[in-house]
Amino acid sequence: MTCPNILLAITGGISAYKSAVLARLLIKAGCTVRVMMTDGACEFITPLTLQALTGNEVHTKLLDDEAERGMGHIELAKWADMVVIAPASANTIGRLAGGLADNLVTTVALATTAPIVIAPAMNQAMYAHAIVQDNLAKLTRFGYTVLTPDSGEQACGDVGAGRLPEPDDLCERILTLLAKSQTPQSLRGKKVIITAGATVEAIDPVRFLSNHSTGKMGFAIAKACMNAGADVTIVAGRGVHLPTPFGAKRITVTTADDMLSACQLVMTDDGDSIFIATAAVADYKVANIASQKIKKTSNQDDLTLALIKNPDILATISHTFPNAVMVGFAAETQDSENYAHAKLIAKNLDMIAVNDVSDKSIGFGSDDNAMTVFFAKHYGMDKMVLDKASKESIAKSLVECVARII
């Protein structure tokens, strides 16, 4: 995604100040931002502020005598890769739902073919009003994307839904929608379940067995699947502290048994389901968890823990749901290709991606990765080597691999 053009429309409302921060965040993320404002918006924040922040002229007039042919709104409508109306007041929402074109914002909305995102912001009673909700439902039917406002204390003192989301959250939602609009929808209609992060197995009330997995790779794949049009559920270990990708569902679990139960609950056995197992699941758990903290004694130099095998989540899901597409991951430190082939066959997988975590630059917690992908024999495809790149880039390549086998 290279330098997308975001046309930010600001309408009248106290939360217009957040739009200034949003503009800067979008620019930092690599977008080119131009701004148009209603008369009401100019009462809350000045065009000069937005011009200084974006480096571009701010547009406030429907008919611009300085624009070519005096139709600046048409130029803006064609320039935008996405139109974002934030905040969107009840007044502007009503005008858009009624098909009016009586100011710059409403006219551009009718003239553009770019996707339009609306972020409502208003008093909680106004937002809950049946007319506003009907207008939002109508805009959704027309193809607009309506973002859900935050709940909390409002500038007027009321408490409820209607707050414009914080700029960083709003920026993340917009970038996700933008990526989706510019990504081939190769997984449209598919249901993807992804496991991510480490499981935790208790020894006693204060100690546990786990590993260094952060869930970065799994969450990057979840985001790439979302962008490709899939309905995504992430089953994540409790130690994963990454934000849930906008639009994805998340289930947080602790142990391997918990993770297996959660996966069985959300899986379906059909050709539209894809199971991607990136989690670093503990192979063993303590046979008998101590009910109290195990104490160190002066005459005891050694401690022996009896361990028993955890369930093999990927193998269990693969054999329980044979019609779903199965994608495995293997983090190895030696002889990775042979281990990958063995897992591919033993667990009846369609595809497996293996990486060498002995290389610290692509191991647990790193921002980069490198993988080799192997496919089941019946696909007739050679292995694919994914050279070292960011985990986001690797995730996109892996989604392309999944799209090829479905």
Q: Which residues are annotated as a binding site?
A: 283, 293, 311-314, 329, 343, 347
Establish whether 42 is a catalytic residue. Answer: no
Closest CA to 199 of 238, 250, 233, 234: 238
- The structure tokens listed for 13 are 């409302």
Backbone angles phi, psi at 326, to 5 degrees: -115, 125
Backbone angles phi, psi at 45, to 5 degrees: -150, 140
Buried b vs exposed e over 201-226: b needs ≥16 C-beta within 10 Å? bebeeeebbbbebbbbbbbbbbbbbb
- The DSSP-derived string for 129-186 is SHHHHHHHHHHHHTT-EEPPPEEEE-TTS-EEEEEPPPHHHHHHHHHHHHHHHTS--T
* Angle CA 130–135–138, to nearest 5: 125
Measured between alpha carbons, how far is 181 from 403 in angstroms, rounded to an integer? 17
The H or E element that residue 345 is part of is helix 336-346
3, 42, 156, 401: the active-site residue: 156
Backbone angles phi, psi at 376, to 5 degrees: -60, 150
Distances, alpha carbon 88 to alpha carbons 15, 165, 231, in Å:
10, 12, 27
Known binding residues for CTP are: 283, 293, 311-314, 329, 343, 347
Q: List active site positions.
A: 156
